[in-house]
Structures are given as C-alpha cells and as structure tokens.
C-alpha cells in the first residue's frame, strides 16, 4: 500500500507493477485483499486504481489516460 499511496490517488496500475516486491501469486492475493477492504478499486481483470475522491461527487471514474499508460507498461 505504501507504493500505491506514494503514487497518489488516481494512479492506475497492474499487478506487474509490484512483481519486484513479491511473486505474482502473492501480489494477486494482496491486491484482492486491498479491493475487498475498499482501499483500491478493480477496474477490470488485471487493472486497478487508487481512486480519486471528490468531496461533492464521491469516488471519481478512473482516468482514461492512466488506464492507457498502465496497459502500455
């Protein structure tokens, strides 16, 4: 969660962004738990974000440009 928080709200990422920290299966389990706890959001299979929150609108939609960059990595 530290890496996610450092990147900031709105960051879109894949499990591949964390394989330097743990095995892919461990990363998948950790991301699953973070989604279940409501810390991050699963956009689609293999694609997650740390959602931006607006005081008036609530949780905002993922950034399309961020999604494209995450898929391209």
For 20-43, what is each residue's pLDDT tens digit? 999 999 999 999 999 999 999 999
pLDDT of residue 73: 85
Coil vs helix vs strand at 47: strand
The structure tokens 């499990």 sit at 15
Long-range CB pairs of 1-5 (<8 Å, 24+ gap) are 1/34, 1/39, 4/34, 4/39, 4/40, 4/50, 5/50
Record the tokens describing residue 43, joined without a space.
């956009």
Average pLDDT value for the chain: 95
Q: What residue has token string 């699963």?
A: 42
Instruction: Give the C-alpha separation, 19 to 32, whole Å.
Output: 15
Give the global pTM.
Answer: 0.88
Architecture in CATH of 2-72: Orthogonal Bundle (1.10)
């Amino acid at each position: 969660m530290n890496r996610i928080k450092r990147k900031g709200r709105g960051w879109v990422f894949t499990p591949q962004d964390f394989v330097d920290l743990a095995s892919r299966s461990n990363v998948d389990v950790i991301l699953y738990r973070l989604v279940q706890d409501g810390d991050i959001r699963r956009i689609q299979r293999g694609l997650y974000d740390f959602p931006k929150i607006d005081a008036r609108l609530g949780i905002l939609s993922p950034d399309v440009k961020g999604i494209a960059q995450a898929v391209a990595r």
